[in-house]
């Protein structure tokens, strides 16, 4: 049987639905999501092997114009590196809302050799598709010579199968890069930390946007039980109080929500312990970022 395989980068500005699209394609939750921009901070490989095709998707942080802190520069670099040496680039935009950051993304991907498929996401929110969507799709085709433009809804799954068929057609004949049952290159420790971070972002909204990260201090898994200790790092004592909540109510809810997702992901019972610690200015300290796993993954 002839196998086909290749790398596909999913790029776009923050909050256009890149991670939701990857999770939809994989049929399970791998990349964390929230309504907050810049939820994704790392490159994450999502691997889908089906029939004779293996697609290695690279989910990326949203490219953004503001780069005041080291973590912002890290995320932009991670996204830019992801489009190098891939077989196809999927650029995701949000409905009819083209912005300066979309221009920035297009500028980055247009400098690469790989063909670019433009995905217009969240079309389920567009009420009058004949009046609004069709003229917009035409205007997009005038911006750049996209290989294809695919309107879809990552949330509902509408038209995602068409996108997958298109992606498969661009992959070269090659042996699989990964075992057929592997879904990511990331460790269980990394995925556990991401799930805790997702629940914090969903719980806190605007109260604690990006001054928080999660570090796994202990992770043991014997097949039936996973014991996990996670340290939540914030930059100020006031942020620590916000994460803990009145009488510990908020951190308790964060732990409960994260544990439920971990038990699905790891397919076992999970004991999760959370602590909060103040580490001043960690998000603008390049040495601290490296120690927390914010390294270059090209």
Q: Which helix (H) or strand (E) holds 167?
A: helix 160-169
Question: Does 14 belong to an annotated binding site?
Answer: yes
Helices 18-26/160-169 angle, 10° precision: 80
Which phi and psi (to 5°) does residue 272 adopt? -120, 125
Question: Does 123 belong to an annotated binding site?
Answer: yes
| CA distances for 168 relative to 10, 12, 22, 171, 172, angstroms | 15, 21, 15, 5, 9
If we measure between CA atoms, which residue out of 176, 271, 147, 153 comes closest to residue 221?
271
Question: Does 142 belong to an annotated binding site?
Answer: no
Question: Does 16 belong to an annotated binding site?
Answer: yes
Question: Does 18 belong to an annotated binding site?
Answer: yes
Question: Does 46 belong to an annotated binding site?
Answer: no
> E-assigned strands of the chain?
4-11, 44-50, 53-59, 88-94, 116-121, 148-151, 212-221, 225-234, 269-278
Question: Does 59 belong to an annotated binding site?
Answer: yes
Question: Does 124 belong to an annotated binding site?
Answer: yes
Classify residue 7 by its DSSP letter: E
What is the full DSSP assignment across 208-263?
A: SSSSEEEEEEEEEE-SSEEEEEEEEEESSHHHHHHHH-GGGHHHHHHHHHHHHHHH
Strand-by-strand arrangement of the 88-94 sheet: 44-50, 53-59, 4-11, 88-94, 116-121, 148-151
Question: Does 13 belong to an annotated binding site?
Answer: yes
Tokens of 255: 């732990």
Question: Does 60 belong to an annotated binding site?
Answer: yes
Residue set of the binding site: 12-19, 59-63, 121-124
Residue set of the binding site for GTP: 12-19, 59-63, 121-124
């Amino acid at each position: 049987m002839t196998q086909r395989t290749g790398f596909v980068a999913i790029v776009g500005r923050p909050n256009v639905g890149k991670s939701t699209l990857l999770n939809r394609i994989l049929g399970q939750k791998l990349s964390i999501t929230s309504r907050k921009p810049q939820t994704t901070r790392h490159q994450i490989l999502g691997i889908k092997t089906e029939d004779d095709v293996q697609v290695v998707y690279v989910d990326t942080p949203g490219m953004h114009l503001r780069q005041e802190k080291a973590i912002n520069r890290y995320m932009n670099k991670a996204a830019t590196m992801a489009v190098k040496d891939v077989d196809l680039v999927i650029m995701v935009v949000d409905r009819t809302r083209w912005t300066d950051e979309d221009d920035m993304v297009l500028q980055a991907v247009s400098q690469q050799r790989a063909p670019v498929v433009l995905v217009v996401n969240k079309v389920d929110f567009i009420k009058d598709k004949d009046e609004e969507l069709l003229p917009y799709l035409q205007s997009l085709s005038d911006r750049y010579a996209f290989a294809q433009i695919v309107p879809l809804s990552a949330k509902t799954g509408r038209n995602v199968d068409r996108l997958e068929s298109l992606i498969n057609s661009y992959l070269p004949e090659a042996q699989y890069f990964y075992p057929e049952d592997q879904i990511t290159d990331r460790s269980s420790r990394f995925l556990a930390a991401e799930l805790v971070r997702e629940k914090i972002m969903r719980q806190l909204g605007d109260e604690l946007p990006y001054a928080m990260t999660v570090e796994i201090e202990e992770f043991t898994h014997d097949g039936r039980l996973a014991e996990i200790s996670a340290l939540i790092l914030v930059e100020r004592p006031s942020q620590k109080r916000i994460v803990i909540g009145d009488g510990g109510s908020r951190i308790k809810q964060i732990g409960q929500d994260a544990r439920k997702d971990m038990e699905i992901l790891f397919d076992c019972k999970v004991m999760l312990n959370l602590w909060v610690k103040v580490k001043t200015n960690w998000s603008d300290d390049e040495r601290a970022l490296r120690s927390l796993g914010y390294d270059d993954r090209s």
